[in-house]
Structure 1
Amino acid sequence: MSSSHTVDPISALRAGDAGQTDRALEILSTVFGYDSFRGEQSAIIEQVASGGDAVVLMPTGGGKSLCYQIPALLREGTGIVVSPLIALMADQVAALEGVGIRAAYLNSTLDYQEAQAVEQQLLAGELDLLYMAPERLVLPRTQDLLRRAQLALFAIDEAHCVSQWGHDFRPDYLGLSVLAEAFPTVPRVALTATATESTHRELTERLRMQDAKHFVSSFDRPNIQYRIEPKASPREQLLRLITSEHEGESGIVYCLSRKSVETTAQWLADRGIPALPYHAGLDARVRQDHQERFLRAEGLIMVATIAFGMGIDKPDVRFVAHLDLPKSIEGYYQETGRAGRDGQPSTAWMAYGLGDVVSQRKFIDAGDGDEQFKRNARSHLDAMLALCETVSCRRVQLLRYFGQESEPCGNCDTCLQPPQTWDATVAAQKLLSALIRLDRERGQKFGSGQVIEVLLGRENERSTQSRHAELSVWGIGGELSEKEWRTTLRQLLARGIVEAEGDYGVLVPGPQAGPVLRGEVTVELAVDRAPAKASRSRPGRGGGGGSSRAAEGLETAERERFEALRAWRTSVAREKQIPPYMVFSDATLVAIVQLQPRSVAELGSVSGVGAKKLAEYGDGILEALPG
């Protein structure tokens, strides 16, 4: 739960005579084992450690946590970290204790005596960092407790949760504006990895941080390869992705429904792929068990709804797959961002089809929100559909949504295999004409299946009863196959040329239909590509789970040493009951293998090996390394 020992290196640095920048660098090296800051980390730390407020937009894996952890260690008092992630607080605290930081959490999982003990540690000045959820922080009793303590700062993590128009709104975050008035002398830093320009403005206003300094990093995650392919047999497509590119590696598979989560997890397990389900309908103890197993195991796949993922700090998630269309680009970006936090090559893959477009629009129209809420949801969906249907670089489109411009990346499917396009103007006019004729002459509206039957001139019971063969549009679409019509219709739906309405998703001309029918615009559509083949070769599997992406460049002898260290790490993690990455990351193990240290002192020069871990694990690493 917490640690009560005194951390001499941190106490000495906090009281030292060196300048703030030098002390920050010393903490980075001594505590965390890194030689230099990345991007704007140093400037953010300087701002907060000096008592200023900061709003930080930085991609997942960009090092946001250091932006409040180091200022909390530099300043007198305890840093209060506001986080919605109660289920992960214990792991977050364990990771900090692992590098010698005195940390604890206050949340509903503690009994009265445990909570009292943490409160006493806070008042006694024995904590560097204290985690709590927003609903606890806004309680008058909690604020009274904090007024009696010496506070270094407030860190508001996942700050996008305050946005009512964002993808992950949490009402309890609205109360955090009270911090500005209740604790005017305590610096605040709001951090998020997911914010459009409008969400950025909203969180600034709602948290009353207009006077804060703003730090906006590039949202680009160049190590992630974005791929979206037409949905044919999605589970088979997923299996091909796993077995050809990510065998033995950790991944997350997102599905929209709880039933789909459970059936997909079982389907994978039946085929020898270790997979677990996670959704809000499972018993809380089952969810917690599955989450802990995913964090601690290597090569396990979590099949989940969006109830899973925020704050997951597992660095070696090698792929994130979507079997259903996400509701927004913000959600998609945050979910795919859980891949490759260690900076190693990773995959963001999605199977997407006509049914996704129809079901998402139907879900919005049938929802309980007011018209403004529905307009906002449609806008989010339209942007997501545009990303799916783009024929240009996906990364360019993704970053542009967040207000950032970039060059084509060369590492997404549309860059690696540019799609072919065709002039679909006549096909679009034929489809729109079929919708209009069916409505005007027969008073009928249908879903995609029957409309395509009419275009192809194929008889069925409905066609016979309604004398569809007598219509002028009967059979006018024979130049395309059924599959090609479905591809065409999907893209027309995404562009608003056709719409699906009502409980049954019947098709009607959309707001962009007029110019198409009048021949005022040309409709260029993409030809569906075949499902992508494996784009990366994979090394053979080694011990301790699947081989690591971080080790791909190692020679045979080095790989043997790396696998020996992984086996040692697994043993230590099991003994301490912590995830293996909390001992050392794969990247750190690779650096150790390449250095081949002969002494504990030499080992201390490796990135990611701080003073506490060196003292705790140094001898064990040297013993585990083969000669």
Structure 2
Amino acid sequence: MPPDRPDPPFSTDRLFDAGRTPLDVLKRVYGYDAFRGKQQEVVEHVTAGGDAVVLFPTGAGKSLCFQIPSLCRDGVGIVVSPLIALMRDQVEALKQLGVRAAALNSSLSRDEAIAVMRAVRTGELDLLYVTPERLVTEGFAELIGNARIALFAIDEAHCVSQWGHDFRPEYRALDCLAERYPGVPRIALTATADPHTRDDIIERLSLGTARVFTTSFDRPNISYDIVERDQPRQQLLRFLSRHKDASGIVYCLSRAKVEDTAEWLDKQGIRALPYHAGLDRAVRDAHQDAFLKDENLCLVATVAFGMGIDKPDVRYVAHLDLPGSVEAYYQETGRAGRDGQPSEVWMAYGMADVLQRRRMIDEGDAAEEVKRVERAKLNALLAICETASCRRQAILAHFGEGHPGGCGNCDTCRNPVETWDGTEAAITALAAVYRTGERFGAGHVIDVLMGTVNEKTERFGHVDMPVFGAGKDIAARTWQSVFRQLLAMGLIRIDHTAYGAMKLEPEARAVFRREREVRFRKDRPVSVKAARNQRSAAARERADLAGSDLELFEKLRAERLSIAKDLDVPPYVVFPDATLIALAKERPGDWDELLDIPGIGQSKRERFGKAFLRVIEEYVEL
């Protein structure tokens, strides 16, 4: 018979007395006979009262590393989590396991919150989830003042670091835990942290004496595919055709693009729902709930969706826009294949992405030091996009992990790109970094290579160095690609604490000695001498248009002519040819992307943007 009253928000009966071994709990509560990887080491260390920093990839079972010690130790385990939705999902999962778990956050009614607080005071909870903002309040300190605390777990710990991809200032206040609650073990966990971010986590959270547990960040079940943007919707459609009747996520940068893409996919026969922070809360929750429960739904989302999502059978993740960093890319793609089954991630990128991302950084409110970090992280992601070597090798190198390459499960391994022997160019580039003292970013070093005389090259005496002008026969744009690829190869690194200066890695010695051949993508280098003999940029771009790009260009010209006639002005007053060429090639998909096109400012976007977006959309859908 159904109960005559609803279940309480948590069970009041503990499964067993504290003090059982971790393996007992693993078997009884979770139903597993053995831990995976380094889980057991972490669990036993924290259960014994030790502090820990856990750096495991998505899907490696980080949650068990604090849940089981909380069940083995006396008292309540307090878990710091950044998202209410994540708390809700984890608490519900724990309740299904019979664990006495609850969350204390703003989504609770007054009566629900009172019930949770009463349970804390009476010792009737095993795990309590809270936001960092609530944890550091005096009211919460008073609430747990007389409670026995099993441990503090700080989930998504990369949020504490300004070097991380998802910095949240409120996490900084968590350094008070060591002083306020001496003797209570603390465990910080993250799936996305490069070496610099890891060091920052340890410093910011006062975990200098904590034991650090790391495991490989490799996700061998995930196949990586990165393509240059060319008819992105059609490219996406081809990708999704490989994943019929499967769950997946398509990430877009803007809210408008999310909604447009979801609507378009529905018209193509692919079940899709939008998700972004601008949607009504009830709609957003309903769409997330549908995604979590359905097995063949495509969720089109901004980065507002996904942190901590536990859905294990996401078979694909696609990016229609470039993320802001390798960490963001790794975290977002890591939502695929949490169950260890084969899954595929795909991304289309173009120069419009780079321009937009750089503009977002430059126009942001962050301090200049943080902006330098964000620019360097963007460049690191571009290096992975442009690398001619194994994608997996390049991604893992960013996290300080070596990989032999040749993974066989990324696009560059399956279909090797054309390359050129860049050994001499690499030696020249690395020599310029070394001769200038490893104190400068790529922009200045390229000026030195190009023989550019300016205030900075003169002030530092670089105009008198042998490397000055040594690379003038290669275009500056090519040198930019060279440095990004050297970064991806692990031959140089970016020092965020030294204003983005490039530093040589030990592996660079083999290049200097010509013991290691370096190959770059063949499609990047352009000789400056040859470029000087070519026509103007606009004429050259127009000549390069072919096939569908040329067809779209002609349709854009017709629209421009129609507008010009209505306004009684010359067509170039509406947009010059160079702008139409860029529109035809980049094919912006929403209002925001228009501003990345040369020749389109705020005013012209307001006056003509909708008309040209309509032409592009109608053409793509043909």
- Alignment TM-score > 0.5, same fold: yes
Residues 357 and 494, structure 1, Cα contact 8 Å, conserved in 2: no
Matches within 5 A, 1:441-480: none
Match of 1:11 in 2: 16
Distance in 2 (alpha carbons) for counterparts of 1:296 and 1:56: 30
What is the correspondence of 1:403-482 to structure 2 with a 5 Å cutoff? 403-408=400-405, 409-422=407-420
CA distance in structure 2 between the aligned counterparts of 1:129 and 1:364, rounded to whole angstroms: 39
Matching residue within 241, 246, 250 for 1:249: 246
Determine helix, strand or coil for the equivalent of 1:11. Answer: coil
Say which SS state the counterpart of residue 226 (structure 2) adopts. strand
SS of the residue corresponding to residue 364 of structure 1 reads helix
Would you say the 8 A contact 1:354–1:489 is kept in 2? no
**Mapped partners of 1:212, 1:345: distance in 2:** 35
Matched to 2:235, the amino acid is Q
CA contact (8 A) 2:19 2:73 kept: no
3-state SS in 1 of match to 2:174: helix
Which of 301, 304, 308 is the matching residue for 1:304?
Answer: 301
Matched, 1:322 2:319: yes
Greater relative contact order (Cα < 8 A, sep 6+):
1
Contact 2:19–2:74 at 8 Å: present in 1 too? no
Conserved in 2, the CA contact under 8 Å of 1:419 and 1:527? no
Is the 8 Å Cα contact of residues 54 and 212 (structure 2) preserved in structure 1? yes
- Give ranges in structure 2 of 5+ residues lacking alignment: 1-7, 424-446, 448-474, 485-500, 503-516, 525-622
Q: Provide the residue aligned with 2:353 in structure 1.
A: 356
C-alpha displacement at 1:394, in angstroms? 0.8
Which deviations, in whole Å up to 9, do the C-alpha atoms of 1:162-213 show, x marking residues without a partner?
0012110111111111111111121110000011111111111111111111
Pick closer, same or farther for the CA change 1:174–1:98 going to 2, 3 Å: same
Which residue pairs with 1:286 in the alignment? 283
1:374 is paired with a residue whose SS is helix
Corresponding residue for residue 382 of structure 2: 385
Out of 334, 337, 345, the position equivalent to 1:337 is: 334
1:247-293 deviation line (CA, Å, top 9, x unaligned): 11111111111111111111101111111111111122221111111
Could you tell me how far 1:15 is from its partner in structure 2? Answer: 4.7
After TM superposition, give the deviation of residue 490 of structure 1 in Å: 7.9
**Cα deviation per residue 1:389-412 (whole Å; 9 max; x = unaligned)?**
111111111111111101222211
Superposition deviation, residue 526 in structure 1: 3.6
Say if 1:224 and 1:348, in contact at 8 Å, map to a contact too.
yes
SS in 2 for 1:330: helix
**Alignment CA distance shift 1:46-1:522 (3 Å):** closer
SS of the equivalent of 1:313 reads: coil
1:422 deviates by 4.0
2:278 & 2:477 partners in 1: Cα distance? Answer: 32
Give the direction of change, closer, same or farther, for the CA distance of 1:277–1:495 in structure 2 (3 Å limit). farther
Determine helix, strand or coil for the equivalent of 1:410: coil
Looking at structure 2, the residues matched to 294 and 494 of structure 1 have their Cα atoms a distance apart, in angstroms, of 39
2:521 corresponds to which of 511, 521, 525: 525
How many Å apart are 1:158 and its aligned residue?
0.3
Deviations 1:106-155 (A, max 9, x none): 00011222111101111111111111111010101101111221111111
Alignment of 1:203-222 (within 5 A): 203-222=201-220
Aligned positions, number: 447
Please name the residue that 2:273 is paired with. Answer: 276
Q: 1:483-519: CA deviations, max 9, x gaps?
A: xxxxx9986654469xxxxxxxxxxxxx99xxxxxxx
Letter in 2 for 1:6: D
In the alignment, the residues of structure 2 paired with residue 81 and residue 363 of structure 1 have an alpha-carbon distance, to the nearest angstrom, of 33
The one-letter amino acid of 2:340's match is G
Distance 2:401 2:19 in 1: 41
Q: Are 2:384 and 2:391, in contact at CA under 8 Å, matched by a contact in 1?
A: yes
Task: Determine the C-alpha separation between the residues in 1 that align with 2:422 and 2:207.
Answer: 49
Aligned ranges 1:195-206 → 2 under 5 Å: 195-206=193-204
**Could you say which residue in structure 1 is the equivalent of 2:592?**
none
Q: Distance in 2 between matches of 1:141 and 1:191?
A: 26
**Contact 2:104–2:130, Cα closer than 8 Å, also in 1:** yes
Query: What are the superposed Cα offsets for residues 543-589 of structure 1, whole Å, 9 maximum, x if unpaired?
Result: xxxxxxxxxxxxxxxxxxxxxxxxxxxxxxxxxxxxxxxxxxxxxxx
Distance 2:144 2:391 in 1: 46
2:419–2:519 Cα contact (<8 Å) kept? no
Deviates more, 1:331-340 or 1:30-39: 30-39
TM-score (ref. length: structure 1): 0.67
Is the 8 Å Cα contact of residues 56 and 191 (structure 2) preserved in structure 1? yes
Distance 1:91 1:74 in 2: 22
> Partner amino acid for 2:359?
K
RMSD: 3.1
Q: Which residue of 1 aligns with 2:233?
A: 235
3-state SS, counterpart of residue 147 of structure 1: coil
- Contact kept, 8 Å, 1:269 with 1:275, in 2: the verdict is yes
CA distance in structure 2 between the partners assigned to 1:130 and 1:233 by the alignment: 48
Q: In structure 2, do the counterparts of structure 1 residues 261 and 491 end up closer, same or farther at CA, with 3 Å as the change threshold?
A: farther
The 8 Å contact of residues 325 and 356 in structure 1, kept in 2 or not, is answered as yes
- CA gap of 1:524–1:11, structure 2 versus 1, over 3 A, is closer
Which whole-Å CA distance do the structure 1 matches of 2:119 and 2:361 have between them?
Answer: 48
Partner of 1:111: 109
Q: Is the 8 A contact 1:106 1:131 kept in 2?
A: yes
Name the SS for the 1:65 alignment partner.
helix
How far apart are the structure 1 equivalents of 2:140 and 2:365? 35
AA aligned opposite 1:11: F
Q: 1:379 to 1:4 in 2, by over 3 A?
A: same
Partner-residue secondary structure (3-state), 1:81:
strand
Equivalent residue number for residue 60 of structure 2: 62
| Partner SS state of residue 215, structure 1 | strand
Is the CA contact (8 Å cut-off) linking 1:227 and 1:350 kept in structure 2? Answer: yes
Q: TM-score, normalised by structure 2?
A: 0.68
1:165 maps to: 163
**Distance in structure 2 (CA, Å) of the matches to 1:113 and 1:107:** 13
1:579-626 per-residue CA deviation (whole Å, 9 max, x = no partner) reads xxxxxxxxxxxxxxxxxxxxxxxxxxxxxxxxxxxxxxxxxxxxxxxx
CA distance in 2, matches of 1:78, 1:234: 50
Match of 1:190 in 2: 188
